[in-house]
């Protein structure tokens, strides 16, 4: 073990110990693997979100801690940009998505579009009478 290796492991251990404070077993956890073998683990708590990135060898590479409020702001920014690209022709794709995905994810998307695009509300009301936002 060379000098830089133990420092890297010590930093990784400190990052893991620091970011694990406040985690509960009931937190929602999601894992994903990238093509290069790195593993991404996301843990969602009530107030914070922890993102861990592990190398293919299992070493901790990075820990990012954000608040749920920051995450929601980013999600809303993404929905704002997506909603601006939706046209009446795109709404036909949502009708197809209902048969493939079910009503729940489509209702979720339509609620976001409904709030951000008042000009499409009449078309949404016509095409999806049962999925109107409440």
The pLDDT averaged over each successive group of 10 residues in the chain (134 residues) is 65 61 65 89 86 89 89 86 85 79 78 87 85 62
Q: Provide the pLDDT for residue 11.
A: 66
Structure tokens at 11: 């930093």
Q: Are residues 98 and 52 in the same domain?
A: no
Q: Are residues 53 and 104 in the same domain?
A: no
How far, in Å, CA of 68 to CA of 71, rounded?
Answer: 5
Contact 40, 34 (CB under 8 A): yes
Rg over CA atoms, the chain: 21
Q: Are residues 10 and 50 in the same domain?
A: yes
Q: Are residues 63 and 116 in the same domain?
A: no
Q: Is residue 58 part of a domain?
A: yes
Contact 73, 58 (CB under 8 A): no
Q: Provide the pLDDT for residue 6.
A: 67
Q: Is residue 75 part of a domain?
A: no
Q: Are residues 90 and 63 in the same domain?
A: no
Q: Is residue 73 part of a domain?
A: no
* 108 three-class SS: helix
Number of domains in the chain: 2
Q: Are residues 99 and 53 in the same domain?
A: no
Q: Provide the pLDDT for residue 127.
A: 85
Q: Are residues 62 and 94 in the same domain?
A: no
Domain, as residue range, for 120:
86-131
Give me the helices (H) in 1-134, please.
3-19, 68-85, 91-101, 103-116, 121-127
Q: Provide the pLDDT for residue 130.
A: 76
């Amino acid at each position: 073990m060379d000098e830089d290796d133990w420092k890297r492991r010590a930093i990784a251990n400190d990052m893991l110990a620091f970011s694990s404070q406040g985690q509960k077993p009931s937190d929602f956890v999601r894992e994903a693997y990238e093509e290069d073998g790195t593993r991404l683990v996301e843990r969602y708590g009530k107030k914070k979100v922890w993102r861990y990135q592990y190398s293919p060898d299992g070493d901790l590479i990075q820990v990012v801690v954000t608040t749920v409020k920051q995450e929601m702001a980013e999600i809303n920014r993404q929905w704002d940009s997506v909603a601006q690209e939706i046209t009446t022709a795109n709404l036909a794709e949502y009708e197809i998505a209902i048969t493939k995905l079910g009503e729940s994810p489509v209702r979720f998307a339509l609620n976001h579009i409904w709030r951000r695009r008042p000009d499409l509300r009449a078309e949404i009301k016509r095409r999806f009478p049962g999925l109107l936002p409440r």
